[in-house]
Structure 1
Amino acid sequence: MSQRVLITAGASGVGRAVAEAFAATGARVWVADLDSKALGECPSDWQTTRLDVSDEAAIVAMFDDIAAHWGGLDVLCANAGIAGPTALVEDVALEEWRACLSVNLDGVFLCSKHAAPLMKAQGSGVMLLTASTAGQYGYPRRAPYAASKWAVVGLGKTLAMELGPHGIRANVICPGAVEGPRMEQVLAREAQAKGMSRDQVYQGYASGTSMGRFIEGRDIADLAVFLASDAARMVSGQVIAVDGHTVNPDPQV
């Protein structure tokens, strides 16, 4: 039977690449996203839900729909996240801090919380949590983002311990800098904050990896498909970077 896969923030960017990769394997795909326009551009055979991942009531309603429509869930890709502010820690407003953590951490927690009963009932499942290499190193001028991603790493390892006895695996994927519109926004903000050009910041990120370049959404998607497959049946509790090997997380500092 084909896998039943839920991807949050799956209508564009990395999430869309992940959704397309699973669909290419024959999986049934359910995409949740806050962007109604992007959802409307998803293939007609995908299930879609407009969702704010920080809204628990909306998440409960979505999982009720998944249970009614599919009868269970095989793979959760908790991928939704935002960049948060770019500022020195003393300049970060509490509201900005909370807004970043509400999506990047609360959203992952809530999706994991409500996916767990479905997976426990069937005695199997895979949870893939999207963190960041910012959850493995520091990330100057991005305190809320880095803190949220470190927390996702801890959550993922705890889920693996709690859920393993029920046949459920949990792993954390840590992307590096990903080519695309979202990273362009980050580059623009960091260039302004550091008094540099966009190209200088871009080259700084690229030169901070041993492979000297950004990654693409398909690099994350390929890993997600592997981790959800039987080929990775004994891989759980792992934190795996896809970043071209970061050797200097912030070469501009």
Structure 2
Amino acid sequence: MSGRVLITAGASGVGRAMAEAFDAAGWQVWVADVDPKALGDCPSHWMTAEVDVSDEGAVAGVFEAIDAKWGGLDALCANAGIAGPTAMVEDVTLKDWQTCLSVNLEGAFLCTKHATPMLKRQGSGAVLITASTAGQYGYPNRAPYAAAKWGMVGLGKTLAMELGPHGVRCNVICPGSVEGPRMEGVLQREAAAKGMTRDQVYAGYASGTSMGRFVEAQDIANMAVFLASDAARLVSGQVIAVDGHTVNPDPKL
């Protein structure tokens, strides 16, 4: 199957891996990202847009452009997110809390809100929300992030119920710890907060999975392409972890 896909935060990291995987599978790719430099590094045959997903006007504009250019959309990957602060809840500022929820949860809401009329009109399509295993377990020192990701899981399950009668599926992908710069920042901040080394924190995260390792962006991308395809035509309302099987989300070292 090929189709038309929009990927938010698609110019780098997990989103970039998704974009490349959809491209390789023959899909037309539209990448939205807040980073103009990363967008400039995207292949010339991709459509691109500089967008802050917490800005409803900007989000609406992307979907208007997609409708005008493509006349529809077959898959939305609501992938944009930020890590938020690493701190005990009493040390989290309201501003940091609001920023984390605004990008993660409200960003997913705005993208799905503006994609829905197009998807319902054509009577088909798939919505994929990138949450996190932090949306399945408690996550000490990451209260805003966990709250946002739990909210995204609830959003995804509700969308599956609302959109299913219109032939549209919605699933939530929950990555575990993903190798890359973003997770490196989390490791460094958590090490500082806990008085540990970065390698100790890394080992703790890895030992919390039955497979004993971090996942890679390509693992998430492979799942996204599958869930958007006809091979997953009756998979909806699911929360699917790609994490090497988390057995202890907060291992003590």
Q: Assess same fold via TM > 0.5.
A: yes
SS at match of 2:251: coil
Distance 2:69 2:118 in 1: 13
Residue 111 of structure 2 corresponds to residue 111 of structure 1: yes
Distance 1:118 1:141 in 2: 39
Deviation at 1:252, TM superposition (A): 3.2
CA RMSD of aligned residues (A): 0.8
Cross-structure match for 1:5: 5
Cross-structure match for 1:197: 197
Distance 1:252 1:98 in 2: 29
Give CA deviations for 1:98-128 in whole Å, capped at 9, x if unaligned: 0000000000000000000000110101000
Distance 1:2 1:151 in 2: 30
How many pairs are equivalent?
253
Distance 2:252 2:113 in 1: 38
Contact 1:11 1:33 in 2 (8 A): yes
- Structure 2 length as normaliser, TM-score? 0.99
Contact 1:201 1:252 in 2 (8 A): no
Q: Give matches, 1:218-233, under 5 Å.
A: 218-233=218-233
Deviation at 1:250, TM superposition (A): 1.2
Identity across the alignment (%): 76
- Structure 1 length as normaliser, TM-score? 0.99
SS at match of 1:249: coil
Q: Give matches, 1:21-40, under 5 Å.
A: 21-40=21-40
Distance 2:230 2:61 in 1: 30
Q: Give matches, 1:107-186, under 5 Å.
A: 107-186=107-186
Runs (4+) off by over 4 Å: none
Cross-structure match for 1:42: 42
Give CA deviations for 1:195-233 in whole Å, capped at 9, x if unaligned: 000000000000000000000000000100110111100
Give CA deviations for 1:39-73 in whole Å, capped at 9, x if unaligned: 00000000000000000000111111000000000
Give CA deviations for 1:124-163 in whole Å, capped at 9, x if unaligned: 0100000000000010000000000000000000000000
Q: Tell me, which stretches of 5 or more residues in structure 1 are unaligned?
A: none
Q: Tell me, which stretches of 5 or more residues in structure 2 are unaligned?
A: none
Contact 1:160 1:169 in 2 (8 A): yes
